[in-house]
């Protein structure tokens, strides 16, 4: 049984959804569950201060889905919970100790790639990771918009089984960035296939690895009776338990290459905001790569506002 530090729910920003300001109690539960999972699939790491109190606690775990898909041992360092109110230098020193211990654990377990995702508020920790050979693979911006019921949005409807092949074809080549495509250690064909596997999971309505299609819908845009774009949106019980609000994430959006720039993506976003409102949501969340100015403009034009950034780094374990 893990002993949790009393400050856990007030730890420094760490969660992808900390921008939604979750309360202390659900935040404690969220960290506790993630740390418990690491006891099973990895290890936890503690850092003590000069009075022998825990000043930071973290978890590292093997990523079974990624390891199986790429045939390369992959692990994740998360969460890294740091006591509130430490001086920046104390926090950076604690994180450095944690990263070193996590790398050592990966080495012992023959895992080659260690992933760490850093929230914008703790961007100064990137240099601790870079000092240890980590490289930035991905930078993501998160947006939200108010859910609101719109009038009928033409040519957008719920997915049907007969759409699946066309949608999987769109997903195969649509996405230009990802942490897997950016890291030369991963086979590019397998990196592109991640999006196809993800869409298959969303269409199935079930969970696979870290992804789930439960509680959601895939909205399809039609042009002359053909499926030419899709967007997936869903209810996420964990997110609701954490934030106490109904916030629905858009998981994927893509329009066929020859149909872009004609307003189809915009209609899908409007339909998503409407679907979310009809299902009781307050906010819709979307995230995309900071690298694409066009896609950022696309969300902003549809009324989405930027809330946070996330940096994903990969460390090579030798
Ligand atoms: C992002 C995307 C869904 C937008 O769909 P769309 O149907 O082209 O969007 P709209 O026509 O409603 O809006 C077009 C606006 O989106 C932006 N845009 C982004 N990528 C674009 C592209 N490849 N072609 C044209 N416009 C694009 C532009 O700002 C454009 O504005 P403009 O019309 O003033 O030039 C679509 O470009 C796409 O499928 N991209 C590849 C998949 C992807 O990157 N998904 C987002 C991952 S988070």
Does residue 260 have its Cβ closer than 6 Å to ligand 1? Answer: yes
pLDDT at 145: 98
In the reported structure, the alpha carbon of residue 263 is separated from the centroid of ligand 1 by a whole-number distance in angstroms of 8
Rounded distance, CA 305 to CA 314, Å?
28
How distant, in Å, are the alpha carbons of 71, 143, 238, 294 from that of 298? 36, 11, 28, 6
Does residue 265 have its Cβ closer than 6 Å to ligand 1? Answer: yes
In the reported structure, the alpha carbon of residue 163 is separated from the centroid of ligand 1 by a whole-number distance in angstroms of 21
- CATH 1.10.10.10 describes domain 8-133: no
pLDDT at 212: 75
Ligand 1 atom showing the smallest separation from residue 268 Cα: 12
* CA-closest residue to ligand 1 atom 48: 288
pLDDT at 218: 95
Positions in the chain short of pLDDT 70: none
Does residue 254 have its Cβ closer than 6 Å to ligand 1? Answer: yes
* CA-closest residue to ligand 1 atom 34: 261
* CA-closest residue to ligand 1 atom 14: 261
Ligand 1 atom showing the smallest separation from residue 259 Cα: 7
Q: Is it true that 8-133 and 143-311 share their CATH fold? A: yes
pLDDT at 78: 98
pLDDT at 159: 95
Does residue 118 have its Cβ closer than 6 Å to ligand 1? Answer: no
pLDDT at 248: 96
pLDDT at 257: 96
Domain 143-311: which topology?
Aminopeptidase (3.40.630)
Q: Select from 265, 268, 300, 303 the residue to mutate for testing ligand 1; criterion: most ligand atoms less than 8 Å from CB.
A: 265
Q: pLDDT for 246-298, tens place per residue?
A: 999 999 999 999 999 999 999 999 999 999 999 999 999 999 999 889 999 99
| Domain edges within the chain | 8-133, 143-311
pLDDT at 119: 98
pTM: 0.92
Q: Select from 156, 298, 302 the residue to mutate for testing ligand 1; criterion: most ligand atoms less than 8 Å from CB.
A: 298
Rounded distance, CA 134 to CA 182, Å?
13
In the reported structure, the alpha carbon of residue 19 is separated from the centroid of ligand 1 by a whole-number distance in angstroms of 26
């Amino acid at each position: 049984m893990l002993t949790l530090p009393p400050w856990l729910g007030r730890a420094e920003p760490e969660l992808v959804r900390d921008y939604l300001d979750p309360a202390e109690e659900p935040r404690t539960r969220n960290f506790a569950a993630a740390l418990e999972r690491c006891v099973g699939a990895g290890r936890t790491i503690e850092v003590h201060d000069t009075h022998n109190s825990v000043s930071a606690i973290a978890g590292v775990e093997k990523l079974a889905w990624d390891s199986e898909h790429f045939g390369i041992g992959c692990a994740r360092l998360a969460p890294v919970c740091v006591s509130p109110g430490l001086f920046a230098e104390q926090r950076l020193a604690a994180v450095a100790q944690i990263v070193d211990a996590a790398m050592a654990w990966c080495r012992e377990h023959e895992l080659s790639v260690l992933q760490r995702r850093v929230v914008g508020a703790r961007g100064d920790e990137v240099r601790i990771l870079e000092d240890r050979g980590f490289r930035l693979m991905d930078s993501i911006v998160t947006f939200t918009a108010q859910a609101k019921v719109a009038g009928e949005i033409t040519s957008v409807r719920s997915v049907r089984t007969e759409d699946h092949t066309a949608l999987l074809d769109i997903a195969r080549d649509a996405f230009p960035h990802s942490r897997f495509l950016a890291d030369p250690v991963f086979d590019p064909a397998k990196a592109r296939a991640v999006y196809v596997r993800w869409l298959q999971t969303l269409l199935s309505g079930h969970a696979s690895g870290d992804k789930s299609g439960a509680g959601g819908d895939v909205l399809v845009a039609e042009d002359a009776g053909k499926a030419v774009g899709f967007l997936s949106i869903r209810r996420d019980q964990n997110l609701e338990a954490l934030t106490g609000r109904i916030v629905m994430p858009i998981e994927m959006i893509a329009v066929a290459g020859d149909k872009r720039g004609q307003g189809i993506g915009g209609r899908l976003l409007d339909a998503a905001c409407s679907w979310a409102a009809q299902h009781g949501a307050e906010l819709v969340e979307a995230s995309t790569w900071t690298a694409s100015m066009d896609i950022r403009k696309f969300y902003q034009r549809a009324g989405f506002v930027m809330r946070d950034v996330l940096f994903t780094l990969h460390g090579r374990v030798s």
